[in-house]
């Protein structure tokens, strides 16, 4: 098995929350009659092959859309049997696949077939459970947590049992930020981050200042979820922003 295939099977790709078959290319040019398109892909199934038999360009709500009629690959294009239609936004693109494509020798589905994907997801879930379910070990670096290190402990474990403790050192910090966002997505009680967008610069006295869209910003040093803007010069107080309190972040 080539390195390309091994990598693809071990790391399936998704787009718009749909599994992508090997060989699929998202293109932004207009579809052409006779080309192959992928339809009905899901999170665990790469979809089925369809042959394009007609293309019509239209406009919906000011956006260009290609209305494509397609049939099964073994159907006669002129009979109308199994003929269906779908619309593709021009600015989103459509999933084109070449005439030569890999299929599973067992189930005859496009690769990666749903059996391979489900097995991969199960294996990944098992490893994730092990990483987050080992007490006293940081799930990011997989190294023990000691009393001398700066850490943060989350009471809620999204992937395993017990509490979750991350190091707050540089190489583990990003994972801790991401976990903070996920675990507090519903309750908004973020411990390391701020849900607002931040703008940073200098105030009228030449001192560093941070403005945030959140009235109760968690702190100027917090990692903000939204768009960030920074300038080395004077930054007037933007409309709709609030001055963030100094500190509050992770040093």
pLDDT for position 90: 92
Q: What is the pLDDT of residues 21-65, one digit of tens each?
A: 888 999 999 999 999 999 999 888 889 999 999 999 999 888 999
Burial class (CB in 10 A: 0-12, 13-18, 19+), 248: middle
Quick check: 134 pLDDT over 80? yes
| Spatial separation of the C-alpha atoms in residues 98 and 26, rounded to whole Å | 11
Look at residues 59, 48, 55 and name the one whose alpha carbon lies nearest to residue 30.
55
First to last CA, the chain: 46
Candidate from 172-176, 200-204, 220-224 with smallest mean pLDDT: 220-224
| Spatial separation of the C-alpha atoms in residues 46 and 18, rounded to whole Å | 7
Q: What is the pLDDT of residues 73-89, one digit of tens each?
A: 887 766 556 889 999 99
SS3 state of residue 101? coil
pLDDT for position 7: 63
Mean pLDDT of 139-149: 90
Q: What is the CATH architecture of 3-120?
A: Roll (2.30)
- Domains of the chain by residue range: 3-120, 134-183, 195-243
Look at residues 29, 31, 30, 28 and name the one whose alpha carbon lies nearest to residue 50.
31
Strands 228-234 and 198-202, how do they pair? parallel
Token pair recorded at residue 189: 């009680």
Q: What is the pLDDT of residues 6-22, one digit of tens each?
A: 666 667 788 877 888 88
């Amino acid at each position: 098995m080539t390195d390309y295939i091994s990598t693809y099977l071990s790391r399936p790709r998704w787009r718009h929350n749909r599994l992508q078959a090997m060989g699929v290319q998202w293109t932004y040019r207009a579809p052409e009659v006779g080309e192959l398109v992928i339809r009905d892909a899901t999170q665990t199934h790469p979809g089925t092959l369809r042959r394009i038999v007609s293309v019509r360009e239209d406009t919906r709500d000011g956006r260009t859309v290609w209305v494509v009629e397609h049939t099964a690959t073994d159907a006669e294009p002129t009979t109308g049997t199994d003929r269906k239609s779908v619309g593709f936004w021009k600015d989103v693109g459509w999933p084109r696949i070449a005439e030569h494509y890999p299929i599973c020798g067992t189930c005859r589905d496009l690769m990666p077939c749903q059996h391979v994907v489900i097995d991969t997801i199960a294996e990944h879930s098992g490893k994730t459970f092990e990483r987050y379910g080992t007490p006293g070990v940081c799930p990011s670096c997989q190294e023990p947590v000691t009393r001398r290190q700066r850490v943060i402990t989350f009471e809620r474990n999204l992937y395993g049992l017990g509490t979750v403790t991350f190091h707050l050192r540089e190489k583990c910090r990003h994972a801790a930020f991401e976990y903070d966002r996920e675990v507090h997505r519903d309750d908004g009680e973020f411990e390391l981050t701020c849900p607002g967008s931040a703008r940073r610069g200098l105030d009228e006295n030449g001192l560093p200042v941070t403005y945030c869209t959140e009235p109760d910003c968690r702190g100027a040093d917090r990692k903000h979820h939204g768009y960030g803007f920074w300038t080395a010069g004077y930054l007037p107080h933007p409309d709709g922003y609030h001055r963030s309190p100094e500190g509050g972040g992770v040093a």
